[in-house]
Amino acid sequence: MKTTVFSTSDLEKKEVQKKIKYNLENDELVVFPTETVYGIGANALSETAVKKIFSVKGRPSDNPLIVHLSKAKDVYKYVNNVSKHAEILMDAFWPGPLTLVFESKGIFSPVVTGGLKTVAIRVPSHKTAKKVIELSGVPICAPSANISGRPSSTLFSHVLEDFDGKVSIIIDGGPTDIGLESTVLDLTVDIPTILRPGKITKDMIEKVLNISIINHTEVQNGLAPKSPGMKYKHYAPKGNVTLIDGSFEETIEYIQKQLFDKRQNKCAVLCPDEFADMLNGDTIIKLGSLDNLESIATNLFKSLRLMDEMNIDYIYIPAVSYEGLGQAIMNRLLKAANQNLIKL
Ligand code: AMP
Ligand code: MG
The residue whose CA is least distant from atom 2 of ligand 1 is 143
Distance CA 21, CA 1 (A): 18
Please tell me the number of the ligand nearest to residue 142's CA. 1
The residue whose CA is least distant from atom 14 of ligand 1 is 64
Q: Is the pLDDT of residue 228 over 60?
A: yes
* Domain parsing of the chain, residue ranges: 4-215, 240-343
For residue 141, list its beta bridge partners.
42, 67
Tell me the pLDDT tens digit for each residue of 325-343: 999 999 999 999 999 999 9
Q: What is the Å distance from ligand 2's center to 233 Cα?
A: 11
Q: What is the Å distance from ligand 2's center to 15 Cα?
A: 31
Distance CA 162, CA 179 (A): 17
Q: Is the pLDDT of residue 226 over 90?
A: no
Q: Is the CB of 112 under 6 A from ligand 1?
A: no
User: What pLDDT, on the 0 to 100 scale, is given for residue 149?
Assistant: 86
pLDDT band at 225 (very low <50, low <70, confident <90, very high): low
Q: What is the Å distance from ligand 2's center to 158 Cα?
A: 14
Q: Is the pLDDT of residue 252 over 70?
A: yes
CATH topology of domain 240-343: Rossmann fold (3.40.50)
Minimum mean pLDDT among 6-15, 150-159, 227-236, 256-265: which range?
Answer: 227-236
pLDDT band at 144 (very low <50, low <70, confident <90, very high): very high
Q: What's the whole-number average pLDDT of the chain?
A: 95
Q: Is the pLDDT of residue 134 over 80?
A: yes
Q: Is the pLDDT of residue 49 over 90?
A: yes
Q: Is the CB of 181 under 6 A from ligand 1?
A: yes
SS (H, E, C) the chain: CCCEEEEHHHHHCHHHHHHHHHHHHCCCCEEECCCCCCEEEEECCCHHHHHHHHHHHCCCCCCCCEEECCCHHHHHHHEECCCHHHHHHHHHHCCCCEEEEEEECCCCCHHHHCCCCEEEEECCCCHHHHHHHHHHCCCEECCECCCCCCCCCCCHHHHHHHHCCCCCEEEECCCCCCCCCCEEEECCCCCCEEEECCCCCHHHHHHHHCCCCEECCCCCCCCCCCCHHHHCCCCCCCCEEEEEECCHHHHHHHHHHHHHHCCCCCEEEEECHHHHCCCCCCCEEECCCCCCHHHHHHHHHHHHHHHHHCCCCEEEEECCCCCCCHHHHHHHHHHHCCCCEEEC
Do 4-215 and 240-343 show the same overall fold?
no
Q: Is the CB of 239 under 6 A from ligand 1?
A: no
- Which ligand 1 atom sits nearest the alpha carbon of residue 141? 2
User: What pLDDT, on the 0 to 100 scale, is given for residue 295?
Assistant: 98
Surface-to-core class of residue 20, CB atoms within 10 Å of its CB (0-12 exposed, 13-18 middle, 19+ buried): buried
Q: Is the CB of 198 under 6 A from ligand 1?
A: no
Kindly state the average pLDDT of the residues 19-45: 98
Q: Is the pLDDT of residue 220 over 60?
A: no
The residue whose CA is least distant from atom 20 of ligand 1 is 227
CB atoms within 10 A of CB 241: 25
Indicate the pTM of the whole model: 0.95
Kindly state the average pLDDT of the residues 233-237: 79
Residue of 100, 101, 194 with the most ligand 1 atoms within 8 Å of its CB, for mutation: 101
Distance CA 144, CA 141 (A): 10
User: What pLDDT, on the 0 to 100 scale, is given for residue 133?
Assistant: 98
Planar angle of CA 323, 207, 224, nearest 5 degrees: 65
User: What pLDDT, on the 0 to 100 scale, is given for residue 336?
Assistant: 93
Which CATH entry fits the domain spanning 4-215: 3.40.190.10, 3.90.870.10, 3.20.20.100, 1.10.3720.10? 3.90.870.10
Q: How far apart are the first and last CA of the chain?
A: 51
Distance CA 146, CA 162 (A): 6
Q: How far is CA 266 from the centre of its chain?
A: 28
Q: What is the Å distance from ligand 1's center to 228 Cα?
A: 7
Distance CA 62, CA 182 (A): 19
Tell me the pLDDT tens digit for each residue of 95-126: 999 999 999 999 999 999 999 999 999 999 99
Q: Is the CB of 64 under 6 A from ligand 1?
A: yes
Q: Is the CB of 256 under 6 A from ligand 1?
A: no
Q: Is the pLDDT of residue 29 over 70?
A: yes
Q: Is the pLDDT of residue 219 over 70?
A: no
Kindly state the average pLDDT of the residues 79-92: 97
User: What pLDDT, on the 0 to 100 scale, is given for residue 227?
Assistant: 66
Q: Is the CB of 326 under 6 A from ligand 1?
A: no
Q: What is the Å distance from ligand 2's center to 152 Cα?
A: 6
Q: Is the pLDDT of residue 259 over 60?
A: yes
Task: Single out the residue of 188, 173, 199 nearest to residue 121, CA to CA.
Answer: 188
User: What pLDDT, on the 0 to 100 scale, is given for residue 216?
Assistant: 85
Tell me the pLDDT tens digit for each residue of 33-47: 999 999 999 999 999
Q: Is the CB of 325 under 6 A from ligand 1?
A: no
The residue whose CA is least distant from atom 7 of ligand 1 is 229
- Which ligand 1 atom sits nearest the alpha carbon of residue 99? 8
